[in-house]
Homo-oligomer: A and B are copies of this chain.
């Protein structure tokens, strides 16, 4: 049921809790439910009021934390993070929360999203003597805060955050205070909950359900929530701009049992599948979804068309770093590493294969081949979102326009490349209808940058080159 790496990867999930005797343990479980947002590092910082305690490591949560590690994280406040990282920079030093110590005390910091003006800010800071120890964009905030030497954490943030452009849910914690902040467009989700007297904050509401916390509300764009001994306080560090919640969170990234701005993700996906069926019906015998993220859309498609939904593809759940990968020779001999087609289901059938996205096109091509090799008579590919024609700069790893197949080929050319019998995408309007955010209402806009090339924030020159100009 969890999204898998396939060319679209979000960077990170956040969880924080304020005022609970089992803060570290609850953060561990909260992070477990956010594991799909980052699988290359996990960390927890706690405060016992006197001192910060930290444990973090590379890998899955169960790899990064061993028996006993939680016991060494005392205190009633905790901040946790799971990290996704592109190859080569997945070292320990980039695992979050980052942790800084100075004469004035300690600071821990965790971040979900991506800053588009990171490179420029970093150059500037380095020129004036700053040393960066990580290659994360997250560290920039610490340096900016340090340059504004207010004594108050909240004032440091109010001065530093407006210098950032991009997507960010930030959480910073000192011995005495926890502050979370959401960027002015609200590109990434961030929700507030309550567990008894304790406050919890998480990237997705599924974390609340797991630990038995109640959802309170979503953090607002440009809002800072301050937690300290006096309670919780809401402040603004800037005016909110037009809301631009990432569409991809609904389509692909978030867990189906999470609600984003009170819209359930599974339900939204099923509606996308139904809408797709309305726009791009086809005569077929079975509908199947590409696990895990496209199952809901496939069920919606089946329901709308009355074509039976079947389990035509199954995922092999190799878990963790200790799994022994097959040799290249074995892979070529046909050992399936991610998906298998279920011959008993697809043989001799006309199959509708519902997926949620095509990035480079190679995965889709492989799945079509799997189905045909298992005897499918026809394979009709249906994508429950519009074509991705531009890169994302806000925390999803979709590389450059050049590498996006839909930016460079027509739908018919793509269909041919992947060997499908037909290929259809959902329309932009269909996407909006399916998700069901009423964007005539305030704060209900959504980012469609990867589908349209229209980005909610400025894009610095260095980045602009990545946008390039595809065929569409």
Interface residues of A (CB under 8 A from B): 1-2, 22, 25-26, 28-29, 32-33, 54, 62-63, 65-70, 91-93, 98-104, 122-123, 126-135, 142-143, 146-147, 149, 195-196, 206, 209-212, 255-257, 259, 262-267, 270, 291, 296, 299, 302-303, 308-311, 314-320, 322-324, 326-327, 329-330, 333-336, 340-345
Contact = CB atoms under 8 A, between A and B. Distances in A.
A291 B2 CA distance: 13
Given A267-B345, A342-B266, A343-B209, A100 B22 contact: no
B336 A311 contact: no
A70 B99 CA distance: 28
A276 to B, nearest CB: 16
Nearest to A308: B303
A143 B143 CA distance: 14
B310 A267 contact: yes
Given A22-B327, A93-B99, A129-B146, 9 more contacts: A32-B318, A102-B126, A103-B123, A210-B316, A211-B330, A264-B345, A266-B345, A303-B308, A303-B309
A255 B122 CA distance: 45
A296 B309 CA distance: 9
Given A264-B342, A311-B296, A316 B33 contact: yes
Nearest to A119: B103
Choose among A2, A103, A302, A344 the residue with the greatest number of B CB atoms under 10 Å from its CB: A344
Nearest to A347: B264
Contacts of A291: 1
Contact of A319 (B267, B299, B320): B320
B133 A130 contact: no
Contact of A147 (B129, B330, B345): B129
B266 A132 contact: no
Given A123-B103, A322-B62, A256 B212 contact: no
Given A93-B99, A330-B25, A66 B322 contact: yes
Number of copies: 4
Contacts of A2: 317
Contacts of A270: 308, 310
A206 B340 contact: yes
Contact of A323 (B26, B62, B93, B267): B62
B132 A129 contact: no
A106 to B, nearest CB: 10
Contacts of A310: 266-267, 270
B299 A309 contact: yes
B322 A63 contact: yes
A467 B211 CA distance: 41
Nearest to A314: B257
Contact of A344 (B1, B28, B266): B266
Given A266-B342, A314-B256, A336 B209 contact: yes
Contacts of A311: 1, 256-257, 266, 296
A210 B336 contact: yes
A141 to B, nearest CB: 11
A308 B38 CA distance: 32
A287 to B, nearest CB: 11
B103 A126 contact: yes
A329 B22 contact: yes
Given A99-B93, A320-B319, A129 B131 contact: no
Contacts of A212: 333-336
A336 B342 CA distance: 32
A256 B319 CA distance: 20
Contacts of A126: 102-104, 146
B210 A340 contact: yes
A85 to B, nearest CB: 14
